[in-house]
Amino acid sequence: MRVSILVLSVLGLAAALCGRDLPFAQSAFAAGDGLPAGWRTWSQRPETLPKVSVEAGDGLGEPGALVVAGGGNVAGYGGWERELSGVEPGKWYRFEASYRAENVKAENWQVVARIDWRSADGRRKGQPEYAAWATREGRWTRLDSTVQAPKDAASARLQFFLLLAPQGKVWWDAISFHEVHAPGPRKVNVASVNFRPGKTGSKEASLAAFDRFVREKVPAGTDMILLPEGISVVGTGRTYVEVAAPIPGPDTEFLGKLAKEKNAYIVAGLLEKEGKAVYNTSVLIDRKGALVGKYRKVYLPREELEGGVTPGDGYPVFDTDFGRVGMMICYDVFFPDPARALAAQGAELILLPIWDGPERLTVARALENNVFLAVSSYGLPALVLNPDGDALANTKENGTVAYATIDLNRSYADEWLGDMRTRRLREIRTDLPVPPPGLLTDARK
User: What would the pLDDT profile of 350-383 be if each residue is shown by its tens digit?
Assistant: 999 999 999 999 999 999 999 999 999 999 999 9
pLDDT at 345 over 90: yes
Which residues, at least 6 apart from 255, have a Cβ–Cβ distance to it below 8 Å?
207, 266, 268, 283, 285
Residue 430 pLDDT class (50, 70, 90 cuts): confident
Provide the CATH number for the domain around residue 162. 2.60.120.260
CA dihedral for 427, 433, 435, 441, sign (positive or negative): negative
pLDDT of residue 346 exceeding 90: yes
Same domain? 127 vs 210: no
Mean pLDDT, rounded, for 233-253: 98
Rounded average pLDDT over 277-289: 98
Predicted local distance difference test score (pLDDT) of residue 263 = 98
Q: What is the pLDDT of residues 95-136, one digit of tens each?
A: 999 999 999 999 999 999 999 999 999 999 999 999 999 999
Last residue of a domain, one of 122, 155, 180: 180
Asked if the structure places residue 120 within a domain, the reply is: yes
Predicted pLDDT at 212: 98
Q: How much of the chain, in percent, has pLDDT values that exceed 90?
A: 87
Q: Average pLDDT, whole number, for the chain? A: 93
Which of 288-317 are b and which e, b meaning 16 or more Cβ less than 10 Å from the residue's Cβ? ebebebbbbbbbbeeebeeeebbebeebbb
Residue 177 above 70 pLDDT? Answer: yes
Same domain, 225 and 355: yes
140: which strand partners?
137
Same-domain status, 231 and 373: yes
* Residue 196 included in any domain: yes
Residue 195 and residue 170 share a domain:
no
Average pLDDT over residues 397-413: 96
Identity of residue 195: F
Residue at 277 is within a domain: yes
Residues 6+ apart with CB under 8 A from 3: none
**pLDDT value for 419:** 92
Do residues 308 and 238 touch, judged by C-beta distance below 8 A?
no
At 30 the pLDDT is: 85
Of 180, 201, 220, the domain-final residue:
180
Cβ 322 vs Cβ 391: under 8 Å: no
d(CA 171, CA 318): 32
123 exposure class (CB count in 10 Å sphere: 0-12, 13-18, 19+) = exposed
* 400 pLDDT higher than 60: yes
∠ CA(71), CA(76), CA(77), 5° rounding? 130
| pLDDT at 344 exceeding the cut of 90 | yes
In terms of domains, do 333 and 212 share one? yes
Mean pLDDT, rounded, for 371-399:
97
Confidence at 7, pLDDT banded by 50, 70, 90 = very low
How far from chain centre, in Å, is Cα 187? 17
Local confidence band at 443 (pLDDT 50, 70, 90 cut-offs): confident
Domain that holds residue 151: 2-180
Residue 20: its pLDDT value, please? 72
- Mean pLDDT calculated for residue range 180-201: 97
Judged on CB neighbours under 10 Å (0-12, 13-18, 19+), 220 is exposed
In a shared domain, residues 135 and 82: yes
Clarify whether residues 390 and 331 are in a common domain. yes
Is 422 within the bounds of a domain?
no
Please give the pLDDT value at position 445.
59
Q: What is the per-residue pLDDT across 28-63, written as a single tens digit (0 to 9) for each?
A: 898 766 899 999 999 999 999 999 999 987 778 788
Residue range 237-248: mean pLDDT, rounded: 98
Q: Is the pLDDT of residue 8 over 60?
A: no
pLDDT at res. 442:
77
Domains contained in the chain, number: 2
Provide mean pLDDT across the span 259-279. 98
What pLDDT, on the 0 to 100 scale, is given for residue 21?
87
pLDDT score of 63: 83
Residue 196 to residue 15: CA distance in whole angstroms = 63
Same domain, 258 and 376: yes
Same domain assignment for residues 280 and 357: yes
- Band (pLDDT 50/70/90 cuts) for residue 6 is very low
